[in-house]
Amino acid sequence: MRRKQKVYKRKKRQSRSRKSRTTRVFLLTLGFLLFLTLGSYGLYLIKDKISQNITLSKFSSHELENLIQELDDTIAGAFFKLGISKSDIAYRKDYHRKDGEIEWNFNELRVNLPMGVSENEVESTFNESLSNKEFRKEFSRDEGILITEIGVKNYPAYKIRFDVYKEVGEGISDKKDEDRHDFKPSHKKVETTPDEDVQKSERTAIKNEKPKVVIIVDDLGINKESIDELLEIKYPLNFAVLPYQRYSQYAAESAYNRGWDVILHLPMEPKSSSGYFGNDAGDGVLLVGLPKEDILSKLDKNLASVPYIKGVNNHMGSKFTENEELMELILNELNSKGLFFVDSKTSLNTKGFEIAKNIGMKTAQRDVFLDTESQGEDYVKSQIQRLVDVSKRRGYAIGIGHPYPETVKALSDMLPKIKKEVEITTVSSVVN
């Protein structure tokens, strides 16, 4: 009996020992797995941190400069869409910033919005334009003024204040901004010519007349259908005809026979003329890198290719029109031939209108772009109304559009309506 009892106790001890070992193995295994999990996560965090540090260390002033240049072009494009010209920028100041080895410029601007441009339109245009994921933007309001702050990554690059147009006496707020003494008075000069004396004489001359509205249609000569549709409009238009196109001659002759002004739509080099997405200004384009004698030779051939021209406006040309020396070269040539020049203002920094005035040439500049490829008929109609508003304030206004179906339709509908308020006329009647 004792022997059997001993065997039973031994088995019982062996069973407890096995359970104890199993528990230890389980706990060790669980601990090991937990160690692997935490260790892997820790390595991931370390690797991610190292990767971020490497990325930041590789980000140089040169790379930031390239991104800010892209941002500059993007903002200029947004201004272009909104019809904001250089004369609408009431104040600008640049600041040099430095963070370690990184250096960049910070720009502060105050912009007088042209008549008819709302704050909502500004926000939607900038939201659409600033699509690069490297750009950040934030809108706010200070005493009712719309402000946008724009940066590249974590580097602030722009602070822009937008003043909505108001007539004098409409309730302009008294600003307490610490930089107020640096700002020029807003709301009083929007979409004006640089020379205030010229404006005053223009207002005096037209005091007892209807405001004049000039509509230039660019890019004509490529197809016949759009030309014929425009010719059905019974109010004076101005045909800006491209050189060397299949229907250039037809467009010029048709406009001339109706007593409308014909101008050469002169191709000039744009900033976006290189790269995979570069824009081609077309045949006869004047390039910045050409010798001066070649530029003048191409100019003469372009002028000879379109009959009945009274003047010239630029096709594209955001790069060429910023070159003071070359613009003076071609404008002197045009002036010697008795032609006028209309600056299409495809760049905020164009020198065309200013130089033409300085040399005593008959000249004018675009006030409103009527259309873009991405906007519809309602947008064109709103731009035509905006053109009318500008003409009432200044005495005349020049709008530029293109032979898009939406534009032709909008012109057909709006011109009979606005004729009661303004005189729709030729561009040669307003250049001076």
What is the rounded average pLDDT for all residues in the chain? 80
pLDDT exceeds 90 at position 112: no
Tell me how far apart the alpha carbons of residues 28 and 23 are, in angstroms, rounded to a whole number. Answer: 9
Q: 222 or 14: which carries more pLDDT confidence? A: 222
Tell me how far apart the alpha carbons of residues 248 and 392 are, in angstroms, rounded to a whole number. Answer: 34
Residue with tokens 């238009």: 237
The token pair that represents 306 in the structure block: 């379109």
pLDDT exceeds 50 at position 422: yes
- State what percent of residues in the chain have pLDDT above 90: 47
Read off the pLDDT of residues 348-366 as tens digits, 9 standing for 90 and up. 889 999 999 999 999 999 9
pLDDT exceeds 70 at position 341: yes
- Give the pLDDT score at 43: 63
Q: 189 or 259: which carries more pLDDT confidence? A: 259
- Give the pLDDT score at 392: 93
HEC sequence for 47-85: HHHHHHHHHHHHCCHHHHHHHHHHHHHHHHHHHHHHCCC
Overall average pLDDT of the 287-294 stretch = 95
**What type of residue sits at position 184?**
K
- Give the pLDDT score at 104: 79
**What type of residue sits at position 170?**
E
Contact between 367 and 387 (Cβ < 8 Å): yes
Tell me how far apart the alpha carbons of residues 142 and 140 are, in angstroms, rounded to a whole number. Answer: 7
Overall average pLDDT of the 90-110 stretch = 79
- Give the pLDDT score at 431: 93
- Give the pLDDT score at 46: 57
Of the candidates 287, 318, 289, which has an alpha carbon nearest to the alpha carbon of residue 302? 287
Residue with tokens 């744009």: 270
Contact between 128 and 372 (Cβ < 8 Å): no
* Prediction pTM value: 0.58
Overall average pLDDT of the 301-320 stretch = 95
**Which class in CATH covers the domain with range 196-429?**
alpha beta
pLDDT exceeds 70 at position 197: no
- Give the pLDDT score at 187: 31
pLDDT band at 342; cut points 50, 70, 90? very high
The token pair that represents 207 in the structure block: 């005091």
Read off the pLDDT of residues 258-271 as tens digits, 9 standing for 90 and up. 999 999 999 999 88
CB-count burial class (<10 Å; 0-12, 13-18, 19+) for 157: buried
pLDDT exceeds 90 at position 89: no
Contact between 312 and 333 (Cβ < 8 Å): no
Domain locations along the chain: 61-165, 196-429
Contact between 386 and 368 (Cβ < 8 Å): yes
Helices (H), 83-206: 119-129, 196-205
- Give the pLDDT score at 70: 80
- Give the pLDDT score at 409: 97
Overall average pLDDT of the 292-317 stretch = 96
Contact between 146 and 161 (Cβ < 8 Å): yes
Q: What is the DSSP-derived secondary structure letter of residue 106?
A: E
Name every residue whose Cβ is closer than 8 Å to that of residue 68 and which is 6 or more positions away in sequence.
104, 105, 152, 157
Contact between 424 and 236 (Cβ < 8 Å): yes
- Give the pLDDT score at 47: 55
Name every residue whose Cβ is closer than 8 Å to that of residue 268 and which is 6 or more positions away in sequence.
281, 285, 286, 314, 315, 316, 317, 319, 320, 321
pLDDT exceeds 70 at position 3: no
| C-alpha radius of gyration, the chain, whole number | 33
